Structure 1
Amino acid sequence: METGKKRMAVLVGCNYPNTQNELHGCINDVLAMKEVLVKRFGFDASHVQLLTDAPGSVVLPTGANIKRALGHMIDQAEAGDVLFFHYSGHGTWIPSNKPGHAFRQDEAIVPCDFNLITDVDFRQLVNRLPKGASLTILSDSCHSGGLIDKEKEQIGPNATITANNTTVHSHNPKSIPFESILQHLTSLTNINTSDVGTHLLEFFGSDASLKYRLPPLEWDLFDSLKPDEGILLSGCQANETSADMSPNEGGGKAYGAFSNAVQMVLKQHSGQLSNKQLVTMAREVLQAQGFEQQHPCLYCSDQNAIATFLWQPEF
């Protein structure tokens, strides 16, 4: 199979400026990743779309805009293409409305307009991939483990790495509690209900998540393809938070802890790394930095676990 035919990326950084949910390192994360994609992994800068909520941004990272960018990238994909999505921003846990999952939580990312993009949306995107193309998702957000619905866990809650007692510097969790999501959406719709789907459908209509636009019985349409070409590198386990690091006293840049760990691993290892090696090493970096409650995870097929991260070509 021909590989490396096209390399396309969508990079999303949400800092939520001037809000109570403000973060500081997310835009820096994706700017750093764009540079690495171009210089190391052979991406053409014109094939890397950047969506941020920085002041003056023309296209904001709303739920509709993010899904539109991802859908456009997938629509252009052919066999052999390498697709990449890096998200740095808030994540959240939402009550599951899947049959038989009354007490389970599902995963979602929180775009700047709070139009949640859920695990079902990412499953549908992966299922749209043409045969022979791959989609790697790096989500530096809270509760990001399992963000591709039904993807196979390769490194997850059962993996262990010895921790130490290094002190962690000042940081904020990249998480918005479900109650805060509900409160914000209620302020937009003025509807008195705790059902998040009702709010999302009322305010965002056809741009709302598929999780709420489709009857649960139709979710079988989004069963995983075995094996599929979705690859998720999550900043933490589904029940954990990811850290947003504030600038240190020396005036350094703010950053997401997981995004920074990935950057450190890539700088320290100039050769090819498998997806599994990259996540394992990123875990080790975070543990050495004292992040004992943040464990990056890997969800993908067995074949993609040992495949090279972004199918790095030899230049």
Structure 2
Amino acid sequence: MDKGKNKWAVLVGCNYPNTKYTLHGCINDVQAMRDLLVKKFGFDPKNINLLTDKPGSFILPTGANIMKALNRIVDQAQSGDVLYFHYSGHGTLIDKPFLPFSKEEAIVPIDFNLITNVDFRHLVNKLPKGVTFTVLSDSCHSGGLIDKEKEQIGPSNNHLHGDSSISCSKPKAIPYESVLTHLSSLSNINTTDIGTHLLEVFGADASLRFRLPHVELEFYKALKQDEGILLSGCQADETSADVISEKGEAFGAFSNAVQQVFKENSGPLTNAEVVSIARKILANQQFEQHPCLYCSDENAAATFLPQSATAASSST
């Protein structure tokens, strides 16, 4: 699909202020992406929902608010529409209760109401025919956020090095044990089952991953190619960096690399090209994180967020 009739975006930046998990560049990431979506990709500002934990924000990026925003754009989408979700914040790995010694990915909203790969798979499964849904996750542990997508660009052992002006960086991940401890303090229940805590604290707003019986979860697995596209900030064995440069600028390394990709390339790029070029940029900056791409073969070769003719001409 090369042209979108309508374009809708949900952009989430979580800095977790006044906590021991504080990050610095996540709000800057999504504000910069909002400008890029409008100026280069032809998004109507009214169709972009920006959720951050900036002091004074009217709607905060809690798990329920993020899912409400995502369900809204999926439910109103029609054939030809382009949907985009950009997340900059912490990720975590959670234990699979039915598969010992196995883990799966989740993002961590500010209230710790985890959003899992099951939730993203459910969103993609609901898409009308002809609608694409691109997810860019600048967080650790995000490679499997859309469950069952095919790996197009993935694990690499080539850790390249180059010049860097980075003075400080921090991994964008919260350990599973820390998430469990925090939720235990909210639920006041003595158990190592994270689902019990999430259901007690968030009820119907908890992830489908914990609300549905194991048998029903099988329903959400993809059985064929679909229109989900995932760009993840790093491989499963790596961390995504939250950075403060020598100039005092704060940003997520992957989000910033994507910004640079489009500053240096005025024409349209495929999803595979965006990830490949971002990998080279991060390698030259001495980051040992390798962004990955998960989608169908067709979408790997499709244009990243197809531009309107007006936006394309104004960006050159």
TM range (shorter): over 0.9
1:172-191 equivalences in 2 (<5 Å)? 172-191=170-189
SS of the residue 1:238 aligns to:
coil
Aligned to 2:269: 273
Distance 1:114 1:275 in 2: 30
Letter in 1 for 2:161: N
Aligned to 1:48: 48
2:191 matched to 1:193? yes
SS of the residue 1:68 aligns to:
helix
For structure 2, the residue ranges without an aligned partner over 5 or more in a row are 311-316
Aligned to 2:227: 229
Contact 1:275–1:306 (CA<8 Å) still a contact in 2? yes
SS of the residue 2:167 aligns to:
coil
1:96 offset after TM fit, Å? 1.5
Aligned to 2:87: 87
1:224 offset after TM fit, Å? 1.1
Contact 1:127–1:225 (CA<8 Å) still a contact in 2? no
1:237 offset after TM fit, Å? 1.2
Aligned to 1:18: 18
Distance 2:177 2:284 in 1: 33
Aligned to 1:257: 253
1:226 offset after TM fit, Å? 1.7
Letter in 2 for 1:274: T
For residues 107-143 of structure 1, give each alpha carbon's deviation from its aligned partner in whole angstroms, at most 9, with x where no partner exists.
0000000000001110001111110000000000011
Provide the TM-score with structure 2 as the length reference. 0.95
For structure 1, the residue ranges without an aligned partner over 5 or more in a row are none
Letter in 1 for 2:154: G
Distance 1:290 1:153 in 2: 24
1:35 offset after TM fit, Å? 0.2
2:301 matched to 1:306? yes
1:165 offset after TM fit, Å? 5.2
2:278 matched to 1:282? yes
For residues 281-307 of structure 1, give each alpha carbon's deviation from its aligned partner in whole angstroms, at most 9, with x where no partner exists.
101111110012x11000000100000
Percent of matched pairs sharing the same residue? 63
Letter in 2 for 1:257: A
Letter in 1 for 2:160: A
Contact 2:167–2:245 (CA<8 Å) still a contact in 1? no
1:166 offset after TM fit, Å? 4.2
Aligned to 1:58: 58
Q: Which runs of 4+ in 1 moved over 4 A?
A: 165-168
Distance 1:156 1:88 in 2: 20
1:201 offset after TM fit, Å? 0.4
SS of the residue 1:280 aligns to:
helix
Letter in 2 for 1:150: K
SS of the residue 1:246 aligns to:
strand
SS of the residue 2:149 aligns to:
coil
1:75 offset after TM fit, Å? 0.8
SS of the residue 2:305 aligns to:
helix
Letter in 2 for 1:284: K
Provide the TM-score with structure 1 as the length reference. 0.95
Contact 2:172–2:241 (CA<8 Å) still a contact in 1? yes
Distance 1:173 1:282 in 2: 18
1:50-199 equivalences in 2 (<5 Å)? 50-97=50-97, 99=98, 101-157=99-155, 159=156, 161=158, 163-164=160-161, 166-167=163-164, 168-199=166-197
Distance 1:50 1:34 in 2: 8
1:2 offset after TM fit, Å? 8.5
